Amino acid sequence: MTETNISAPIETVVRQDWSREEIADLFNLSFDELVFQAATVHRQHHTPGAVQLSTLLSIKTGGCPEDCGYCNQSASAESGLKAEKLLDVRSVLQTAAQAKDRGSSRFCMGAAWRNPKNRDMPAIIEMVKGVRQMGMETCMTLGMLTKEQSKMLADAGLDYYNHNIDTSPEHYEKVITTRTFGDRLETLENVRESGINVCSGGIVGMGETREDRVGFVHALATLPKHPESVPVNALVPVKGTVLGDMLADTPLAKIDDIEFVRTIAVARITMPASMVRLSAGRESLSESTQALCFLAGANSIFTGDKLLTTGNAGDDADEAMFEKLGLIPMAAEPPRHVNLEAAE
C-alpha cells in the first residue's frame, strides 16, 4: 500500500460530509502523521490520558436466530454454547454494583436476540432503572428496536443503545444475511429519535479490505449525528462460527496491529467528539499496541475478565497497564440524553 507523507490540514470541527476519498487519504498518511493528527484532534475534544472504563454483561446468552458469521451466540453456530434464559434483575444489578466497585463508570447489558419481545421489556426496564440509581451510565444492546421499544427505554432513562453496523455496506452481506445494512440504520434512527445516545461501531479483521474499512468509517462519520460512542472490535475467531473456522488457521487474515491503530486514528479524526472504544479482541493486542491506540485517540475500554462470551484482559491487567502508561479512569458523567429540540 502506497502511503503519502504529505500533511493534510488537521480537522478541528465536527463534520458529517466526509467523502470516501478524504477518509482513504487519511488511511494513506504516513503512520506518524496520522497518529499526530489524531492525537491533536483528540486533545481538542477530550481530556488526554483519561479513559472510560466500561463493563459488559451478557444478560441473555445464545440461541440468537441471526446468522452473523463472527458470533458464537448464533443458533447456526456450532460453538457448543448453550442458549440460556434472560437473567433475573437482581443478579444483573449485583454484577453492576461489583463493576462500579472496580471502577467502571458505564454498565453495558447485551442480549442475544434478533429483537426484544414485549414480554421481556418490563425486566429490561427494571435493569436500566436499577443501574442508573447506582450512578452509572447505562447501555443496552438487544438487537433491532421498534420506535415504541426505543421510547420505552428512553423513558426508563437508558443513556446509550449499542447497535453496530459491523462493517462496510459492501462487505456486510458476506458476514450477515438475516438482516440488512438498512435494518441496522433503521434501528439507529429509532434510537436517535427517542433521545437515547447512539453507540455504534464494528469489527475489523473479518477478511475485509482497507477499502471496506474506509467504507465502515464513512458510514458512521456521515450519519446525521455521529454516534456518541464508537466501539472498534478486532475479530475473535471462535471455533464453530463461520468466520472463526474460515480464518482461524489463516494468520494473514488477522488485521495487522498498525492497521488496527490506523483505523482507530481515522475514527478519531472523522468523529472527533465521539468516545472511541477498544472492545472485543483487545486481549490479543500487546500493551504497546494499546498504548498506540490511546495515543491515536481511543479513550474507552471494556474492562473485566469477559466480554459477553469471549475473554478479556481483566481488571488487574488493566490496572497495571494504566499505571504503566499514566492513564486515569474517567469518572462517570451525568446522563447525556440527546436534546431533541436542538437536533431538529
Please give the positions annotated as active site.
64, 68, 71, 108, 139, 199, 277
Closest Cα partner for 281 from 174, 166, 203? 203
- What SS3 class is residue 272? coil
Q: How many CB atoms lie within 10 A of CB 339?
A: 9
Question: Given CA atoms 292, 336, 310, 90 in this order, what sign does their dihedral have?
Answer: positive
Asked if residues 336 and 158 have their Cβ atoms less than 8 Å apart, the reply is no
Helix (H) or strand (E) holding 268: helix 257-270
Beta bridge partners of 78: none
Could you tell me which residues come within 8 angstroms of residue 317 by beta carbon, excluding any fewer than 6 positions away?
Answer: none
Helix (H) or strand (E) holding 93: helix 89-101
Residues constituting the chain: 344
